[in-house]
Structure formats: structure tokens, C-alpha cells
Amino acid sequence: RAGLDTYRIGQVVMAHDSVPSTQPLAHEAASKGAPEGTLVIAEQQTGGKGRLGRPWHSPSGTGIWMSLIVRPAIPLPKTPQMTLLTAVVLAKTIWEETGVEPKIKWPNDIFIGDKKVSGILTELNAESDRVNYLVIGIGLNANMTREDFPEELASIATSLRIESGKKLKRARFIQRFCENFEREYDDYLREGFERVKSEWEQNSYTIGKWITVSTIQQSLEGKAIGLDAEGVLILEDAQGKRHKVYSADVNYRAN
Ligand code: BTN
């Protein structure tokens, strides 16, 4: 099967060779009215951005570096659900296209074994309480060999090529991602978060693990129990007390 079987996700693609980051380009396009589903892709990023202000290593030719514009009609507090949805879709597409089974590390890293293969950076544009659009940035280590990773990443990062032993066809992967995203997203808009929640939990690296979560205000330790109906992580501490953990700007460590 060739081509792209969607009606909006990936129907507009803005493809670049080398850019600082696809995120600001997607914001610019979105604020000029780019339709929902517009995808900004780059072959290389010279200033790729990760979560929590970290850099994101985005060399030429070996990765998928892209930012997706969506305009969901959902209330502001529900927008983190879109990141969980994206993680579910990424994990599913990786499994379908490579046969390797990735796990989702809360809130939105994709792991194979104990190494990270993909990350998601969601940025929100809202006016007062109204969501204008989201830019969902996706970085996927596709075709790096072990030697391609800089020393500081070698022990914590991996690629689909390393894990599956095969080179990924990137264009095909992106098409399948768009199709899976559209299906999951349409279901979510119609039916709500429930399916995403259960798929996220089924593919979770985090559930059942003892973790430490720290925000600026507090540090919490406990066992990750699951997501609540809204997508907030539930942590049970040593005293059996349950805590809600919101993904925004949280650092965490799996003990
Ligand atoms: C993370 O795990 O910290 C998130 C990484 C997100 C990286 C992607 S690559 C495409 C888009 N452009 C960026 O500069 N960042 C995101």
C-alpha cells in the first residue's frame, strides 16, 4: 500500500532541509492559519529542543524530526491528554513497522528496553481559556548506529535500527504514523480519553514501578498505580496514601 490514507493529518507537509527547530516554524505556520494536521518536518535540526529546556540531538539523515499542528476542541486542562495520545500512537506505529515492542515512560518518552528511542514535546497556544492550537513535536531516533550517538547519549539512547536490525523507511513510517494518529484522534474527539488511557496503561514502562517525582515545590516517592480518568498519574506512597502527579514540568526518576 502506497500513499497516505488520511483526510487531514499529514495532508499538508512543510519539509525543510536544515532548520534550528521545527517547533517555532510550526507555531508560525499555525498562527498564520495552517490547517489542522499540518506537519513540519526537517532532515536536520541545529537547535532541536527537548522537554525541560534540554537540547535534542537531531543530526542529518538518521532521524524523524517533526512537529504536528492540531486544533482540538477540548478544554485547556485536558490538553496533556494529547501528549499521552501521541505516545500511544508512536508506540503502536513503532511496533507495526519494526516488530519491536516499545514502552511508554511517563509522561511521554518512548523506551525500548531501558533506552530512549523517542520523545515528545507538546507546546500549547491558548487565549484565556480557549485552546487555539497545539504543536506536538516528535523526535524519533530512526537509523542511527551505535557509533552515531555522542558519548553522553550512548548509554541512554537507542534507535529503531539498532533495536530491529533493519533500516527504517522514514517516509513510510510517517505515513503510517499519520494514519494511526488520525484514527486515534478521531476516536478521542468522539468518545473521550478512555481508549487512550487503557492503551497507554497497557504499554506503560512506568506502571508498577517505584518512582521519585520532583517539582519545584515538592518531592514524592511512590509506586505508579495508573492514570486517573483524566490522564493524571496516580502514585501510592509508602504509607499507602495516593497522590496525583501532573506531567507539566516534573522531573522523575525510576528507582
Ligand atoms: C523530549 O523527549 O525531551 C522531547 C523531544 C522532542 C524533540 C522533537 S524533534 C522535532 C521537534 N522539534 C524540536 O526542536 N523538538 C521536537
Gap from CA of 238 to ligand 1 centroid (Å): 35
The CATH architecture that domain 13-202 belongs to is: 2-Layer Sandwich (3.30)
User: pLDDT at position 225, please?
Assistant: 95
Site to substitute for ligand 1 among 14, 40, 49, most atoms within 8 A of C-beta: 49
* Long-range contacts, 224-233 (Cβ 8 Å, 24+): 224/106, 226/201, 227/84, 227/197, 227/200, 227/201, 229/193, 229/194, 229/197, 230/77, 230/78, 230/81, 230/193, 231/78, 231/80, 231/81, 231/84, 231/193, 231/196, 231/197, 231/200, 233/106, 233/107, 233/206
- The dotted CATH code for 210-254 is 2.30.30.100
**pLDDT digit string, tens, across residues 73-118:** 999 989 999 999 999 999 999 999 999 999 999 888 999 999 999 9
Phi, psi torsion values for 148, nearest 5 degrees: -75, -20
For residue 249, the tally of other CB atoms under 10 A from its CB is 10
User: pLDDT at position 128, please?
Assistant: 86
Predicted confidence band at 249 (pLDDT cuts at 50, 70, 90)? very low
Does 111 contact ligand 1 (Cβ within 6 A)?
A: no
**pLDDT digit string, tens, across residues 153-178:** 999 999 999 999 999 999 999 999 99
Q: What does pLDDT average to over the chain? A: 93
| Topology alike, domains 13-202 and 210-254 | no
Does 48 contact ligand 1 (Cβ within 6 A)?
A: yes
User: pLDDT at position 133, please?
Assistant: 96
Which atom of ligand 1 is the closest one to the Cα of 116?
Answer: 2
Which atom of ligand 1 is the closest one to the Cα of 22?
Answer: 12
Do the interacting molecules here have an ipTM over 0.95? yes
Does 84 contact ligand 1 (Cβ within 6 A)?
A: no
Domain ranges of the chain: 13-202, 210-254
Answering whether pTM is above 0.80, one says: yes
**Mean per-residue pLDDT, 194-219:** 90
Site to substitute for ligand 1 among 13, 23, 249, most atoms within 8 A of C-beta: 23
User: pLDDT at position 2, please?
Assistant: 65
> How large a percentage of the chain has pLDDT more than 90?
86
pLDDT at 252 over 70: no
